[in-house]
Structure 1
Amino acid sequence: MNQPSTQLIRTAVLSVTLMSGTAAFAAPSGTVAFLMPDHASTRYEQHDFPGFKAEMSKLCPDCKVLYQNANADVSQQQQQFNSVIAQGAKVIVLDPVDSTAAASLVHMAQSQGIKVIAYDRPVPSTPADYYVSFDNEEIGKSIAQSLVQHMKETNVPTGKGGVLEVNGSPTDAAAGLIRKGIHAGLQGGGYKTLSEYDTPEWAPPKAQQWVSGQITRFGAQIVGVVAANDGTAGGTIAAFKAAGVNPVPPVTGNDATLAGLQLIIAGDQYNTILKPSEIVAAAAAKVAVGFLSGQAPKGEIKLFNTPSQLFKPAVITQKNLKAEVVDKGFASAKELCTDRYAEGCKKLGIGN
């Protein structure tokens, strides 16, 4: 994978110092856990954990890394949390299934001297030791503003319809930040919100089922959909296609998944957010090694009373997909231009 541009991210300013004057400290070692929330988003196995593991291998070859995925089950994540503590984890990187329920996990770990890094999703009700993520509120605002601009450029009238809003999981604080950003991005755009929905577990089938009902309810009044990630976007698009709607109204997304990028190439999805998970995962690894070395990293800002580091997202549409995604090595033409997407790739100048 190529190094992302400085326009895409703000590189972490974080160093782990192992020397002080002439005295050398021992290289860090210890057990670090990486606990992810679900399998509905393919990113965790494909990008987040590989990125975290690779950076840990570089920074702390003697460290042991434990990985667990809770499959959207709060009880299972609690069991996994207890398990990694029993296995000696000194730092836990936690992407919570339920941001509220995670507060008790943070308290339990901290009472035993274990550091908790909130990852992607914050823990609003109690301070973790660190929070690292892309700027979720900015993600929501960016995808909504991009959609409004597109609808105005294509002369979609503001007075004859409105948009649907397909949010993320109601138990995910990051989804709440994205929702807040979406509301801000839509505000003043002239398009009313017909209806909105918090998608349990971010599950695409649940998004599809809800959107199907809204198509029956509103029909041609739906001129666009702000979907909070590529999974809910895919469910939304499937609902329109099943209802025989052609063309599908413009639909937003987030995560730049392979499926989401292909839907953009096909013209079914309007935008997504490129936020290479490996970047945030690597930052989390640096913070974890800092804690193991006894050096608490300072955040760029404080969010939810927690030292935090937020990375800037980039909006991807057909106009910049080749330049920002393919040319920079985030996805290859071979991966994207399969079967029915080959014609769309050709139109966008993406070659195998």
Structure 2
Amino acid sequence: MHVTPHFGRRRSAVIGAVAVGALALAACSSGSSDSAAASSGGGSKGKPIVALLLPENATARYEARDKPTFEKQLAKSCPQCRLRYYNAAGDAGKQLSQAESALADGASVLVIDPVDSKAAGAVVASARQQKAKVMSYDRVIYNAGVDYGVKFDNVQQGAVGMQSLLDKLKKDGKTSGNIVMMNGDPVDSGAKPEKQGAHSVIDKSSFKVAAEYDTKGWSAANAQNQMQQAITKLGASHIDGVYAGNDGMATGVVAALKSAGVKPMPPVTGLDTQLDAIQNMVAGDLYESTYLPVETEAQIGAKAAAALATGKKPSGALLNGTIDDGAHQVPAYLLKSVAVTMANMKQVLVDSGYLTVDQICTAAYQKACVTAGLTK
């Protein structure tokens, strides 16, 4: 993450023994922050506590977008609620310890974006013992039967990125060619369906997956190494396009292509519409980045958490489908993603207020912005 990205998307595995051990700890140092939706003190009788547990802070979206949007919406939807915020910094054991700390503080709702989707099941079991509700946020918690989930349709977002890539190649006059696929970390529950979605597009096309990698940690450095392997295997002139599961990996892909002196650059796709990725798009190094309306996800998540905190079930506008966690069908809201290229960047990102022209067109990108028509 991923998103990671991605997004924003960095995940690390943890074995069952670590999960059990973490839940047994009294988390004296949880890395949490406490923000009030009401002015009274935390833990006051009759003041529901909602705990938001996000997975990492290496990807900009979590601290810059998810947390503040969730916090603002919760204050609006449940003025009497208090928010306890935790970030696990990519450490699955730490997240389990943070969840235990939140429950010890009296949280009645846990909203969890899991670092490890399997290990997080231990959190749900612990919450059940205290009659606390659990929501999965942005990713699935496997085999746990949580009360509600909100996330992006990962199959759809994988299909969006791949379709955008193939459409570009066809527009350029190619009817076949070699595609390199840079998929996300299999530990992340979103990686497999995203990969499935991308394959659902390319597998029925005339294009070929000539090299494919699962990228540990959604890491730019790992993606760069893998892209170098693909260039060695296929030859630079035989790579027609690259699908990358998030913007960070796309950055690594572009670095490898440039290092190998590949000209012209084949189209490369990403996901998360991070600022640096959009700047790379303006500069001509990145063709596409899939936009995830994270603010909408956070708003829906906060509204659902408010409902659960006040003894209700999320329904109506907060419910449009289910999530299969491997053992249960979890009531959920699934969001759609949008492919962003230079053709619709201004409309989707700038006109919506997601980014400003000033943010994109810093000194290093002024000339490219003029060429792209963003500035004069």
TM-score range normalised by the length of the shorter chain? 0.7 to 0.9
What pairs up with 1:34-49 in 2 under 5 angstroms?
34-49=52-67
1:62 to 70, 74, 80: 80
Aligned to 1:234: 251
What pairs up with 1:194-343 in 2 under 5 angstroms?
194-219=210-235, 220-298=237-315, 299-304=319-324, 305-343=329-367
* CA deviation after TM superposition for structure 1 residue 251, in Å: 0.9
What pairs up with 1:184-199 in 2 under 5 angstroms?
184-199=200-215
- TM-score, L = length of structure 1: 0.88
Conserved 8 A contact 2:293-2:337: no
Deviations along 1:291-327, one digit per CA (max 9) or x if unpaired, are: 0111111332122110010112111101000111112
Paired residue type of 2:98: Q
Conserved 8 A contact 2:243-2:269: yes
* CA deviation after TM superposition for structure 1 residue 230, in Å: 0.9
* CA deviation after TM superposition for structure 1 residue 213, in Å: 1.8
Which residues of structure 1 form unaligned runs of 5+? 1-27
Distance in 2 separating the partners of 1:89 and 1:125: 22
* CA deviation after TM superposition for structure 1 residue 61, in Å: 2.9
Aligned-residue sequence identity (percent) comes to: 38
Aligned to 1:346: 370
What pairs up with 1:112-123 in 2 under 5 angstroms?
112-123=130-141
Which residues of structure 2 form unaligned runs of 5+? 1-45
Paired residue type of 2:362: T
* CA deviation after TM superposition for structure 1 residue 68, in Å: 1.6
Aligned to 2:187: 171
Distance in 1 separating the partners of 2:58 and 2:266: 24
Distance in 1 separating the partners of 2:111 and 2:311: 17
Aligned to 2:161: 143
Aligned to 1:126: 144
Distance in 1 separating the partners of 2:212 and 2:232: 15
Please give the secondary structure, in 2, of the residue aligned with 1:32. strand
4+ runs deviating over 6 angstroms: none
* CA deviation after TM superposition for structure 1 residue 156, in Å: 3.0
Distance in 1 separating the partners of 2:239 and 2:125: 45
Conserved 8 A contact 1:120-1:134: yes
Conserved 8 A contact 1:251-1:270: yes
Paired residue type of 1:284: G
* CA deviation after TM superposition for structure 1 residue 197, in Å: 1.6
Task: Name the count of aligned residue pairs.
Answer: 324
* CA deviation after TM superposition for structure 1 residue 40, in Å: 3.2
Conserved 8 A contact 1:40-1:203: no
Conserved 8 A contact 2:350-2:357: yes
Deviations along 1:166-200, one digit per CA (max 9) or x if unpaired, are: 11121111111111111112122211112222222
Distance in 2 separating the partners of 1:322 and 1:348: 10
What pairs up with 1:100-115 in 2 under 5 angstroms?
100-115=118-133
Paired residue type of 1:57: A
* CA deviation after TM superposition for structure 1 residue 157, in Å: 5.0
Q: CA RMSD in A?
A: 1.7
Conserved 8 A contact 1:138-1:313: yes
Is structure 2 residue 112 aligned with structure 1 residue 94?
yes
Distance in 2 separating the partners of 1:343 and 1:210: 32
Please give the secondary structure, in 2, of the residue aligned with 1:89. coil
Distance in 1 separating the partners of 2:55 and 2:214: 17
1:181 to 191, 197, 210: 197
